């Protein structure tokens, strides 16, 4: 178990205070709750704390999922070039009638486009498919660069040093095509490798796997200390383990005590840990369920944290 558990608990409190600008104020039964509905980024932008994830949301499914999410109140869609569903997402957003500036749109640069000359065309393709002139957030999807057109052939230089790719992303911010830039799947060493360069814009987020089976308390604490917002991907354990996660005894016990669902327990836990959470669903009832988050009382939060770290 992570040695700094007590420190982590104190950190959770301070992180929520640090990141928190405007609380959610939701009530269920007698249980009054407050968790941040968004976090403030270095750019001054406010990123909503709960997003709809759309990886493996197939054509035909993803549009209705985005429509259901926007109706529910989601204003954050976590997409990527490689999910190959950006056109349908763009159409659903347009049809919703919700002004573009009220929706947070993220996309990600795939590993085959890290060469500086390939960044802008890849971004432009996402922008065109999504039917938008800018992204709120553009993320380097993986720290690994592959040669364009090569069959998984590693680009050794750009993998060892992602600064040329980052500089191009900074240029995209200056051109107004992207408002914030970030990274994904970077461990601490790789983050330091990037931020050791004279960056014009620091990474706004690091999107990483965080869930009951992989809670990464050290990374969470390091990111807090270094003011780097984390985004929790596969928050329910991914499609392969979601069912198992939702049946963890500590999670079902907390759900019962608070009269909320196991999915709401786990999604709330991620926000209470100070991260943006990206649950994926194409099922309207689940999309609605996943959007309702509740601050877990300290003892129940600690119980879940301990259970996750003890895995
Ligand atoms: N940066 C990266 O490398 C990376 C990697 C992985 C994921 N991501 C992002 O993170 C998002 C989420 O990750 P993920 O898709 O791997 O996993 P996840 O959100 O942990 O789990 C998704 C699975 O849980 C099911 N589910 C959702 N809500 C549920 C509920 N309330 N009750 C029961 N089952 C529920 C979904 O089923 P249905 O859809 O059938 O409802 C789906 O099978 C992705 O969509 C993507 O945006 C990023």
Q: Is the pLDDT of residue 286 over 60?
A: yes
Here the tokens at position 188 are 């601490």
Average pLDDT, the chain: 91
> pLDDT tens across 267-276, in order?
999 999 999 9
> pLDDT tens across 50-102, in order?
999 999 998 899 999 999 999 999 999 999 999 999 999 999 999 999 999 99
Distance CA 305, CA 181 (A): 30
Q: Are 135 and 127 in contact (CB under 8 A)?
A: yes
Considering only 2-6, 160-164, 200-204, 256-260, which range has the smallest mean pLDDT?
2-6
- Which residues contribute to the annotated binding site? 141
Percentage of the chain surpassing pLDDT 70?
89
Ligand 1, atom 4: closest residue by C-alpha = 233
The CATH code of the domain that includes 141 is 3.20.20.100
| pLDDT reported for residue 9 | 52
- Which residues contribute to the annotated binding site for substrate? 141
Distance CA 282, CA 56 (A): 9
Number of domains in the chain: 1
Ligand 1, atom 36: closest residue by C-alpha = 281
Q: Is the pLDDT of residue 225 over 90?
A: yes
Residues with CB under 6 A from ligand 1: 53-56, 78, 141, 184-185, 207, 233-239, 242, 246, 263, 278-283, 286, 289-290
Helix orientation angle between 86-96 and 116-130, rounded to the nearest 10 degrees = 40
Range of the domain at 39: 5-309
The more confident residue out of 7 and 152 is: 152
Would residue 149 be called left, alpha or beta, if left means φ above 0 and alpha means ψ between -120 and 50 degrees?
A: left
Q: What is the pTM of this model?
A: 0.92
Confidence band for 13, pLDDT divided at 50, 70 and 90: very low
Burial of residue 2 (number of CB atoms within 10 Å: 0-12, 13-18, 19+): middle
Ligand 1, atom 5: closest residue by C-alpha = 233
């Amino acid at each position: 178990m992570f040695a700094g558990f007590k420190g982590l608990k104190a950190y959770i409190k301070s992180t929520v205070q640090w990141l928190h600008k405007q609380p959610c104020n939701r009530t269920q039964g007698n249980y009054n709750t407050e968790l941040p509905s968004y976090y403030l980024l270095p750019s001054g932008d406010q990123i909503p704390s709960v997003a709809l994830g759309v990886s493996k949301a197939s054509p035909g499914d993803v549009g209705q999922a985005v429509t259901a999410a926007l109706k529910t109140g989601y204003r954050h869609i976590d997409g990527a070039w490689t999910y190959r569903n950006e056109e349908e997402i763009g159409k659903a957003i347009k049809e919703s009638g919700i002004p573009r500036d009220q929706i947070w749109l993220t996309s990600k640069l795939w590993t085959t486009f890290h060469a500086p000359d390939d960044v802008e065309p890849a971004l432009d393709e996402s922008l065109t498919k999504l039917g938008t002139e800018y992204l709120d957030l553009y993320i380097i999807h993986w720290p690994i660069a592959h040669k364009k057109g090569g069959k998984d052939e590693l680009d050794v230089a750009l993998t060892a040093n992602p600064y040329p790719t980052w500089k191009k992303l900074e240029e995209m911010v200056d051109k107004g095509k992207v408002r914030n830039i970030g990274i994904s799947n970077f461990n601490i060493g790789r983050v330091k490798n990037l931020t050791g360069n004279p960056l014009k814009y620091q990474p706004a987020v690091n999107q990483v796997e965080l869930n009951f089976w992989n809670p990464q308390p050290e990374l969470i604490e390091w990111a807090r200390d270094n003011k780097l917002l984390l985004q929790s991907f596969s928050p329910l354990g991914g499609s392969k383990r979601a069912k198992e996660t939702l049946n963890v005894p500590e999670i079902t016990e907390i759900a019962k005590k608070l009269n909320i669902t196991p999915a709401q327990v786990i999604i709330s836990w991620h926000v209470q840990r100070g991260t943006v959470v990206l649950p994926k669903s194409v099922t309207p009832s689940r999309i609605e369920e996943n959007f309702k988050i509740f601050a877990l009382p300290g003892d129940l939060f600690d119980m879940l944290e301990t259970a996750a770290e003890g895995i």
